[in-house]
């Protein structure tokens, strides 16, 4: 997929660039669906091990990692932080739902 994206980035026409955006959007959605699959499994493990749903140390670690990666990629960290706050909120909802299945 990354080779396709790199090829599309070389284009200079509007339609080709839009196709590139669509390709990236599809990849983002696919990866997001996989992230929520992981979240479900994490919720199940937390339930089995009787762990708290919110793990502040883990969240802090994730955001520090995002900050580092954002800097390397030239991304605005405040945007990345906002984006991942939404993703994290939804992940917690997914985990909570999974945990309640097994009560």
The predicted-structure confidence for 9-62, as pLDDT tens digits, reads as follows: 888 888 888 988 999 999 999 999 999 999 999 999 988 998 888 999 999 999
The predicted-structure confidence for 60-92, as pLDDT tens digits, reads as follows 999 999 999 999 999 999 999 999 999 999 999
| Angle subtended at Cα 83 by Cα 56 and Cα 25, rounded to the nearest 5 degrees | 135
Angle at CA of residue 40, ends 34 and 46, nearest 5°: 135
> From CA 54, how far away is CA 65, in angstroms rounded?
18
What predicted TM-score, i.e. pTM, was given to this entire model?
0.83
The number of beta carbons lying within 10 Å of the beta carbon of residue 90 is: 14
Superfamily of domain 2-101: Chorismate mutase (1.20.59.10)
Give 36 or 3, the one with higher predicted confidence.
Answer: 36
Of the candidates 81, 83, 76, 49, the residue with the CA atom closest to the CA atom of residue 64: 81
């Amino acid at each position: 997929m990354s080779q396709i994206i790199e090829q599309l980035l070389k284009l200079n026409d509007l339609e080709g660039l839009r196709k590139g955006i669509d390709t990236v959007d599809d990849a983002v959605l696919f990866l997001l669906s996989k992230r929520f699959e992981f979240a479900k499994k994490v919720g199940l493990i937390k339930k089995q091990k009787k762990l708290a749903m919110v793990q502040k140390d883990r969240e802090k670690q994730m955001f520090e990692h995002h900050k580092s990666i954002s800097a390397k990629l030239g991304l605005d960290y405040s945007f990345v932080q906002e984006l991942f706050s939404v993703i994290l909120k939804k992940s917690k909802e997914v985990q909570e739902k999974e945990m309640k299945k097994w009560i």
